[in-house]
Amino acid sequence: MFRLITCCFAGLVMVSILAEKASALVTQTPVTPASIKEKDSKFSVTAEKGKDGLIQFTITYRLPEPQYLVAHFELRDGEKVLMRTDSPSFAREKSATYYVAVSPSQLAGARFELSQNGFSESGGQPLAEPGGTIFQIDLQAFGKNAPAAKGD
């Protein structure tokens, strides 16, 4: 009986340790004008209309710790993909800032996501870990009433 209890206890300890390492889970989190006003928001997003007529976005993410980040930007016209970029980085700074400019007529088809994952070192090189969070920044919500840029 003692051996059974010991084995069960050891099993529970292993499950609790491994549960912390189960980082392959990916969550999706929307970033909206309302969410960046929350006390613990990690984002700031500004939008301004430039002299060139484009809505210029500045997206800043405050990192809680070093992270592997991938900025995804996609521009669509209905079902047709007009443009797509993916910019990966191993960010060790306190924040990461991204700049995107979109024509007001294409704002509805613009999509910006920031994928955030942990990373570790392997042989002195950073190695992205699976899982993390995909932050979906609602560019249309931030840009629909964008003021003219200061100094324009």
Contact assessment for residue 59 and residue 97, using Cβ atoms and an 8 Å cutoff? yes
Could you tell me the CA-to-CA distances from 96 to 9, 25, 74, 87 in Å, in that order?
44, 23, 19, 12
Note the pLDDT of residue 149.
Answer: 81
Note the pLDDT of residue 15.
Answer: 43
Note the pLDDT of residue 18.
Answer: 42
Q: What residue ranges define each of the domains in the chain, with the CATH number in brackets?
A: 23-143 (2.60.40)
Q: Please report where in the chains the tokens 């700031």 appear, as a residue.
A: 44
pLDDT in tens, 15-69: 444 444 455 788 999 999 999 999 999 999 999 999 999 999 999 999 988 999 9
pTM score, whole prediction: 0.78
Contact assessment for residue 73 and residue 112, using Cβ atoms and an 8 Å cutoff? yes
Contact assessment for residue 86 and residue 70, using Cβ atoms and an 8 Å cutoff? yes
Q: Coil, strand, or helix at residue 27? A: strand
Could you tell me the CA-to-CA distances from 50 to 102, 133, 147 in Å, in that order?
10, 31, 9
Least confident span in 1-5, 64-68, 73-77, 132-136? 1-5
Note the pLDDT of residue 118.
Answer: 86
